[in-house]
Amino acid sequence: MNNSSPVGFFDSGIGGVSILQAFKHIMPDESTVYIADTPNCPYGNKRAEEIISLSVANTRELTEKYGCKMIVVACNTATAAAIDYLRAKYSPLPFIGLEPAVKPAVHETRSGVVGVLATAGTFSGRLYRETKAKFGGDTTIIATVADEFVTLAEKIYRGALEEDSPEVIEAVKNRLAPLLAAGADRIVLGCTHFPHLKKAMEVICGDKAKIIDPSFAVARQARRVLRSLSLQAPAGALATHVFIDRAKV
Ligand code: DGL
């Protein structure tokens, strides 16, 4: 493992591509390896023990086969269940995790009502509870499980469904309408699959609410950690990108 080694990413499927794209955009010299654990998608309704063992399998492949110098757990659900375990097991390997962006939403809201969309697994994790307690203040935070968005995002990404098809618009409307009716003016995407439905969400929200997509904030955090550990690739390095879609193996 050295500075030219790749940064590893994994998610239950293609959700984390939203993070991968942002990272590649701001760190063009970095090589990457992405694992879409599609046969095991979704993670959102699995038990924590199972998500831990899937996350270990993904991390093992990224480290042992590809020699990754840092792992981005590009999945809120896997972060909630497994990040403490992974950090302890693979120390000192750096891990970047994801949690719903409650803090900026609470900071920005004018109505005092924020909607958070995520999986059941993310909402039941310690990270979400702690973040909400720490940064929620007196903002009303409405947690909405939207597991069906994961399947829709997978289909959109694979070209089986159009992003603006009636099925997608209807599903998005069903989840967002109650949040908008309750006065939410910020909607947090607490699952990396959900930015793939962002256009439909923006249509439904109009000017009533802004979507908070954390992809670039996470990419910047990954950049900060690489730099602080002096692990960044040399400027002008020839970056290579490996995408492992287990569905197609
Ligand atoms: N993309 C994932 C997340 O950020 C998980 C989706 C799932 O597999 O349920 O939570």
Strand pairing category for 140-145 and 113-118: parallel
pLDDT tens sequence for the chain (249 residues): 889 999 999 999 999 999 999 999 999 999 999 999 999 999 999 999 999 999 999 999 999 999 999 999 999 999 999 999 999 999 999 999 999 999 999 999 999 999 999 999 999 999 999 999 999 999 999 999 999 999 999 999 999 999 999 999 999 999 999 999 999 999 999 999 999 999 999 999 999 999 999 999 999 999 999 999 999 999 888 999 999 998 754
What is the predicted pLDDT for the residue at 237? Answer: 84
Ligand 1, pocket-test mutation among 19, 20, 51, 77, most atoms within 8 A of CB: 77
Which residues 6+ apart lie within 8 Å of 45 measured at CB? 119, 120, 121, 147
Quick one: how far is CA 145 from the chain centroid? 15
- As for ligand 1, residues whose beta carbon falls within 6 Å of it are 11-12, 15, 41-44, 75-77, 119, 122, 150, 191-193
DSSP states of 111-172 as a string?
SSEEEEEE-HHHHHSHHHHHHHHHH-TT-EEEEEE-THHHHHHHHHHTTSS-TTSHHHHHHH
What is the predicted pLDDT for the residue at 246? Answer: 86
Position 141, amino acid: I
What is the topology classification, in CATH, of domain 102-212? Rossmann fold (3.40.50)
What is the predicted pLDDT for the residue at 236? Answer: 85
Identical fold between 7-98+215-248 and 102-212: yes
Cα 114–Cα 171–Cα 177 angle in degrees, nearest 5: 40
In this prediction the pTM is 0.95
Give the span between the Cα atoms of 51 and 40, in whole angstroms: 9
Ligand 1, pocket-test mutation among 9, 10, 12, most atoms within 8 A of CB: 12
**Are 115 and 211 in contact, with CB atoms under 8 Å apart?**
no
The CATH code of domain 7-98+215-248 reads 3.40.50.1860
**What are the domain boundaries of the chain?**
7-98+215-248, 102-212
Which atom, in ligand 1's list, is nearest to the CA of 122?
10
- Dist. CA 213 → ligand 1 center (Å): 14
What is the predicted pLDDT for the residue at 248? Answer: 55
What is the H or E stretch that residue 245 is in?
strand 241-245
Sheet of strand 7-11: strand arrangement:
95-96, 70-73, 7-11, 32-36, 241-245
Give the span between the Cα atoms of 245 and 122, in whole angstroms: 23
- Dist. CA 121 → ligand 1 center (Å): 9
What is the predicted pLDDT for the residue at 212? Answer: 97
- Dist. CA 109 → ligand 1 center (Å): 25
**Whole-angstrom distance between the N-terminal and C-terminal Cα of the chain?**
26
What is the H or E stretch that residue 199 is in?
helix 198-205
What is the predicted pLDDT for the residue at 249? Answer: 47
- Dist. CA 186 → ligand 1 center (Å): 20
Which residues are known to be catalytic? Answer: 75, 191
